[in-house]
Structure 1
Amino acid sequence: MNQPFTVTTITTNELGISIFLDINFEVQQRGGLFLTEQIASKNFRIRKSDIGYTTDFHLSGDATFIIIQKGSLKIELQNGDFKIFSSGDFFIAKDNLPSTIVFDNKIHGHKASVIGNEVLQAIHIKL
Protein backbone atom coordinates (compact mmCIF):
# COMPACT_ATOMS: atom_id res chain seq x y z
CA MET A 1 0.00 0.00 0.00
CA ASN A 2 3.07 2.24 0.24
CA GLN A 3 2.96 3.10 -3.48
CA PRO A 4 3.64 6.64 -4.71
CA PHE A 5 0.78 9.05 -5.25
CA THR A 6 0.70 9.81 -9.02
CA VAL A 7 -0.54 13.21 -10.20
CA THR A 8 -1.08 14.11 -13.87
CA THR A 9 0.78 17.36 -14.52
CA ILE A 10 0.77 19.86 -17.37
CA THR A 11 4.37 21.04 -17.66
CA THR A 12 6.75 22.16 -20.41
CA ASN A 13 9.54 20.29 -22.13
CA GLU A 14 12.98 21.71 -22.95
CA LEU A 15 11.51 23.53 -25.99
CA GLY A 16 8.80 25.24 -23.94
CA ILE A 17 6.06 23.02 -25.38
CA SER A 18 3.30 21.99 -22.95
CA ILE A 19 3.16 18.25 -22.24
CA PHE A 20 1.35 15.88 -19.89
CA LEU A 21 3.62 14.16 -17.39
CA ASP A 22 2.74 11.89 -14.48
CA ILE A 23 4.65 12.92 -11.36
CA ASN A 24 5.02 10.58 -8.40
CA PHE A 25 4.89 11.82 -4.82
CA GLU A 26 6.35 9.34 -2.35
CA VAL A 27 4.20 8.48 0.66
CA GLN A 28 5.00 7.42 4.20
CA GLN A 29 2.74 5.37 6.42
CA ARG A 30 1.64 7.20 9.56
CA GLY A 31 -0.72 5.05 11.59
CA GLY A 32 -3.48 4.05 9.20
CA LEU A 33 -2.66 6.90 6.79
CA PHE A 34 -0.40 7.09 3.77
CA LEU A 35 0.76 10.69 3.39
CA THR A 36 3.11 12.62 1.16
CA GLU A 37 5.53 15.08 2.71
CA GLN A 38 4.05 18.55 3.16
CA ILE A 39 3.64 20.46 -0.08
CA ALA A 40 3.78 24.22 0.40
CA SER A 41 0.89 26.26 -0.96
CA LYS A 42 0.20 29.98 -1.24
CA ASN A 43 -3.59 30.21 -1.34
CA PHE A 44 -6.69 28.56 -2.75
CA ARG A 45 -9.72 29.65 -4.71
CA ILE A 46 -13.07 28.06 -5.47
CA ARG A 47 -13.98 28.14 -9.15
CA LYS A 48 -17.18 27.79 -11.14
CA SER A 49 -17.36 27.82 -14.94
CA ASP A 50 -20.53 27.65 -17.02
CA ILE A 51 -21.39 24.90 -19.48
CA GLY A 52 -19.58 25.65 -22.74
CA TYR A 53 -16.80 27.73 -21.11
CA THR A 54 -13.60 27.58 -23.15
CA THR A 55 -10.22 29.30 -23.27
CA ASP A 56 -7.65 29.99 -25.95
CA PHE A 57 -4.20 28.45 -25.55
CA HIS A 58 -2.48 29.86 -22.47
CA LEU A 59 0.09 29.00 -19.80
CA SER A 60 -0.74 28.27 -16.18
CA GLY A 61 1.37 31.02 -14.65
CA ASP A 62 1.79 29.91 -11.05
CA ALA A 63 1.76 26.16 -10.46
CA THR A 64 -1.78 25.20 -9.45
CA PHE A 65 -3.21 21.97 -8.02
CA ILE A 66 -6.77 21.67 -9.35
CA ILE A 67 -9.41 19.38 -7.83
CA ILE A 68 -12.59 18.86 -9.86
CA GLN A 69 -15.62 18.78 -7.56
CA LYS A 70 -18.40 18.77 -10.14
CA GLY A 71 -18.59 18.66 -13.94
CA SER A 72 -15.91 17.81 -16.51
CA LEU A 73 -12.94 19.82 -17.80
CA LYS A 74 -11.11 18.94 -21.02
CA ILE A 75 -7.46 20.05 -21.18
CA GLU A 76 -5.98 20.02 -24.69
CA LEU A 77 -2.37 20.49 -25.76
CA GLN A 78 -1.08 22.04 -28.99
CA ASN A 79 -0.32 18.57 -30.43
CA GLY A 80 -3.96 17.51 -30.00
CA ASP A 81 -3.37 15.31 -26.93
CA PHE A 82 -6.06 15.84 -24.32
CA LYS A 83 -7.29 14.59 -20.99
CA ILE A 84 -10.72 14.91 -19.44
CA PHE A 85 -10.92 15.50 -15.70
CA SER A 86 -14.24 14.87 -13.94
CA SER A 87 -15.64 14.92 -10.42
CA GLY A 88 -13.02 13.58 -7.99
CA ASP A 89 -10.12 13.96 -10.45
CA PHE A 90 -7.19 16.30 -9.88
CA PHE A 91 -4.12 17.56 -11.71
CA ILE A 92 -1.32 20.10 -11.49
CA ALA A 93 -1.02 22.86 -14.10
CA LYS A 94 2.48 24.31 -14.15
CA ASP A 95 3.37 24.92 -17.78
CA ASN A 96 5.35 28.10 -18.10
CA LEU A 97 8.14 29.52 -20.23
CA PRO A 98 11.58 30.77 -19.35
CA SER A 99 11.97 34.53 -19.81
CA THR A 100 14.04 33.88 -22.97
CA ILE A 101 11.03 32.47 -24.86
CA VAL A 102 8.16 34.72 -25.98
CA PHE A 103 4.70 33.12 -25.64
CA ASP A 104 3.00 32.25 -28.95
CA ASN A 105 -0.53 30.86 -28.63
CA LYS A 106 -0.02 28.83 -31.82
CA ILE A 107 2.96 26.97 -30.28
CA HIS A 108 2.79 27.11 -26.49
CA GLY A 109 0.32 26.34 -23.76
CA HIS A 110 -2.86 24.40 -23.24
CA LYS A 111 -6.54 25.21 -23.52
CA ALA A 112 -9.43 24.24 -21.31
CA SER A 113 -13.13 23.69 -21.94
CA VAL A 114 -16.07 22.63 -19.82
CA ILE A 115 -17.71 19.66 -21.51
CA GLY A 116 -20.97 17.88 -20.84
CA ASN A 117 -24.14 19.34 -19.40
CA GLU A 118 -22.98 20.27 -15.91
CA VAL A 119 -21.42 23.47 -14.56
CA LEU A 120 -17.79 22.99 -13.52
CA GLN A 121 -16.89 23.47 -9.87
CA ALA A 122 -13.26 23.13 -8.80
CA ILE A 123 -10.75 24.08 -6.14
CA HIS A 124 -7.52 25.79 -7.27
CA ILE A 125 -4.61 25.57 -4.82
CA LYS A 126 -1.63 27.75 -5.78
CA LEU A 127 1.66 25.96 -5.10
Structure 2
Amino acid sequence: MNQPFIIPTITTNENGISIFSELDFSVQQRGGMFLTEQIGSKNFRIRRSDVGYETDFHVAGDATFIIIQKGSLKIELQNGEFKIFTAGNCFIAQDNLPEHIIFNNEIHGHKASVIGNESLQAIHIKL
Protein backbone atom coordinates (compact mmCIF):
# COMPACT_ATOMS: atom_id res chain seq x y z
CA MET A 1 0.00 0.00 0.00
CA ASN A 2 3.07 2.23 -0.28
CA GLN A 3 1.62 4.03 -3.32
CA PRO A 4 2.53 7.67 -3.95
CA PHE A 5 0.04 10.50 -3.65
CA ILE A 6 -0.70 11.72 -7.16
CA ILE A 7 -1.87 15.35 -7.21
CA PRO A 8 -3.39 16.98 -10.33
CA THR A 9 -1.34 20.05 -11.21
CA ILE A 10 -1.60 23.09 -13.47
CA THR A 11 1.85 23.94 -14.76
CA THR A 12 3.38 25.42 -17.91
CA ASN A 13 5.10 23.79 -20.86
CA GLU A 14 8.30 25.02 -22.50
CA ASN A 15 6.30 27.70 -24.38
CA GLY A 16 4.71 29.14 -21.24
CA ILE A 17 1.31 27.57 -22.05
CA SER A 18 -0.67 26.26 -19.07
CA ILE A 19 -1.20 22.50 -19.09
CA PHE A 20 -2.59 19.85 -16.75
CA SER A 21 -0.09 17.36 -15.36
CA GLU A 22 0.42 15.37 -12.17
CA LEU A 23 2.94 15.44 -9.36
CA ASP A 24 3.83 12.25 -7.52
CA PHE A 25 4.68 12.52 -3.85
CA SER A 26 6.31 9.37 -2.51
CA VAL A 27 5.25 8.15 0.91
CA GLN A 28 6.80 6.25 3.79
CA GLN A 29 4.94 4.09 6.27
CA ARG A 30 5.15 5.44 9.79
CA GLY A 31 3.18 3.70 12.53
CA GLY A 32 0.35 2.60 10.24
CA MET A 33 0.21 5.94 8.38
CA PHE A 34 1.52 6.62 4.91
CA LEU A 35 3.12 10.07 4.92
CA THR A 36 5.04 12.19 2.44
CA GLU A 37 8.17 13.98 3.52
CA GLN A 38 7.51 17.42 4.97
CA ILE A 39 6.48 19.94 2.32
CA GLY A 40 7.32 23.53 3.17
CA SER A 41 4.59 26.15 2.94
CA LYS A 42 4.44 29.92 3.37
CA ASN A 43 0.88 30.51 4.57
CA PHE A 44 -2.69 29.43 4.05
CA ARG A 45 -6.04 31.08 3.45
CA ILE A 46 -9.60 29.91 3.75
CA ARG A 47 -11.60 30.85 0.67
CA ARG A 48 -15.28 31.21 -0.09
CA SER A 49 -16.70 32.11 -3.52
CA ASP A 50 -20.36 32.46 -4.44
CA VAL A 51 -22.15 30.47 -7.14
CA GLY A 52 -21.38 32.10 -10.48
CA TYR A 53 -17.92 33.37 -9.45
CA GLU A 54 -15.57 33.39 -12.44
CA THR A 55 -12.07 34.66 -13.16
CA ASP A 56 -10.40 35.82 -16.35
CA PHE A 57 -7.39 33.86 -17.59
CA HIS A 58 -4.49 34.24 -15.17
CA VAL A 59 -1.41 32.39 -13.90
CA ALA A 60 -0.98 31.14 -10.36
CA GLY A 61 1.59 33.59 -9.05
CA ASP A 62 2.92 31.57 -6.13
CA ALA A 63 2.47 27.80 -6.31
CA THR A 64 -0.71 26.99 -4.38
CA PHE A 65 -2.09 23.70 -3.06
CA ILE A 66 -5.90 23.96 -3.11
CA ILE A 67 -8.22 21.66 -1.17
CA ILE A 68 -11.92 21.85 -2.06
CA GLN A 69 -14.09 21.55 1.06
CA LYS A 70 -17.51 22.37 -0.41
CA GLY A 71 -18.89 23.10 -3.88
CA SER A 72 -17.42 22.59 -7.37
CA LEU A 73 -14.62 24.50 -9.09
CA LYS A 74 -14.05 24.24 -12.83
CA ILE A 75 -10.50 24.98 -14.03
CA GLU A 76 -10.24 25.62 -17.76
CA LEU A 77 -7.14 25.99 -19.94
CA GLN A 78 -6.75 28.13 -23.05
CA ASN A 79 -7.18 25.05 -25.29
CA GLY A 80 -10.63 24.34 -23.79
CA GLU A 81 -9.45 21.39 -21.69
CA PHE A 82 -10.93 21.50 -18.19
CA LYS A 83 -11.18 19.63 -14.90
CA ILE A 84 -13.87 19.92 -12.25
CA PHE A 85 -12.80 19.66 -8.63
CA THR A 86 -15.38 18.89 -5.93
CA ALA A 87 -15.41 18.42 -2.16
CA GLY A 88 -12.48 16.26 -1.09
CA ASN A 89 -10.46 16.94 -4.27
CA CYS A 90 -7.19 18.83 -4.31
CA PHE A 91 -4.83 20.22 -6.90
CA ILE A 92 -1.74 22.39 -7.23
CA ALA A 93 -1.79 25.58 -9.31
CA GLN A 94 1.77 26.49 -10.28
CA ASP A 95 1.55 27.80 -13.82
CA ASN A 96 3.99 30.70 -13.95
CA LEU A 97 5.70 32.36 -16.86
CA PRO A 98 9.45 32.76 -17.23
CA GLU A 99 10.49 36.38 -16.67
CA HIS A 100 11.18 36.94 -20.38
CA ILE A 101 7.58 36.09 -21.41
CA ILE A 102 4.93 38.79 -20.98
CA PHE A 103 1.51 37.49 -19.90
CA ASN A 104 -1.15 37.54 -22.62
CA ASN A 105 -4.65 36.54 -21.44
CA GLU A 106 -5.43 35.16 -24.91
CA ILE A 107 -2.51 32.71 -24.79
CA HIS A 108 -1.44 32.05 -21.21
CA GLY A 109 -3.00 30.87 -17.98
CA HIS A 110 -6.12 29.19 -16.74
CA LYS A 111 -9.49 30.42 -15.52
CA ALA A 112 -11.66 29.24 -12.67
CA SER A 113 -15.41 29.24 -12.13
CA VAL A 114 -17.72 28.02 -9.39
CA ILE A 115 -20.27 25.74 -11.00
CA GLY A 116 -23.41 24.07 -9.72
CA ASN A 117 -25.77 25.49 -7.12
CA GLU A 118 -23.49 25.48 -4.08
CA SER A 119 -20.95 28.12 -3.08
CA LEU A 120 -17.30 27.11 -2.97
CA GLN A 121 -15.26 26.71 0.18
CA ALA A 122 -11.58 25.83 -0.14
CA ILE A 123 -8.24 26.03 1.59
CA HIS A 124 -5.34 27.65 -0.30
CA ILE A 125 -1.87 26.73 0.95
CA LYS A 126 1.00 28.73 -0.60
CA LEU A 127 3.97 26.48 -1.29
RMSD: 0.3
Equivalences for residues 1-127 of structure 1 within 5 A: 1-127=1-127
Percent sequence identity is: 78
Alpha-carbon distance in structure 2 between the residues aligned to 1:68 and 1:5: 17
- Helix, strand or coil at the partner of 1:114: strand
Q: How many residues align?
A: 127
How far 1:31 moved relative to its partner? 1.0
With the length of structure 2 as denominator, give the TM-score of the two structures. Answer: 0.99
Q: Deviations 1:45-84 (Å, cap 9, x if unpaired)? A: 0000000000000000000000000000000000010000
Structure 2: stretches of 5+ with no match in the other structure: none
Alpha-carbon distance in structure 1 between the residues aligned to 2:87 and 2:43: 21
**TM superposition outliers: structure 1 runs of 4+ over 2 Å:** none
With the length of structure 1 as denominator, give the TM-score of the two structures. Answer: 0.99
